[in-house]
């Protein structure tokens, strides 16, 4: 799958990093449950393996689209 998914149609599973479109920019984010409901955690910095090094969490983040992060192909 390499198409953007509208967040009004479907949301990603919890605790999975995905590409998101937030305020017209592409970044990495994930949804998580804080015990009172779910929030978006949005990457502020990303390392070379697409792991988030620093995130901000807020119930006011509303990404418009998301896309799964594809696995890195094996080096030959």
Contact 68, 50 (CB under 8 A): no
Q: What is the mean pLDDT of residues 1-18?
A: 90
Q: What is the pLDDT of residue 11?
A: 94
Q: How many CB atoms lie within 10 A of CB 30?
A: 21
How is the chain split into domains, by residue range? 5-68
**pLDDT greater than 60 at residue 28:** yes
Could you tell me the pLDDT band of residue 52, with boundaries at 50, 70 and 90? low
Contact 41, 52 (CB under 8 A): yes
**pLDDT greater than 90 at residue 5:** yes
Give this prediction's pTM. Answer: 0.76
Do you know the residue count of the chain?
76
From CA 40, how far away is CA 22, in angstroms rounded? 11
Q: What is the pLDDT of residue 39?
A: 85
The CA–CA distances, whole Å, from 55 to 1, 27, 31, 51, 74 equal 25, 11, 12, 10, 28
């Amino acid at each position: 799958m390499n198409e953007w998914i509208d967040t009004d149609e479907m949301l990603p599973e919890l605790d999975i990093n995905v590409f998101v479109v937030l305020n017209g920019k592409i970044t990495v984010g994930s949804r998580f449950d804080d015990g009172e409901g779910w929030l978006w955690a949005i990457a502020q910095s990303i390392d070379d393996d697409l792991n988030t090094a620093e995130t901000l969490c807020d119930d006011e983040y509303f990404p418009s689209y998301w896309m799964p992060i594809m696995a890195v192909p094996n080096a030959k």
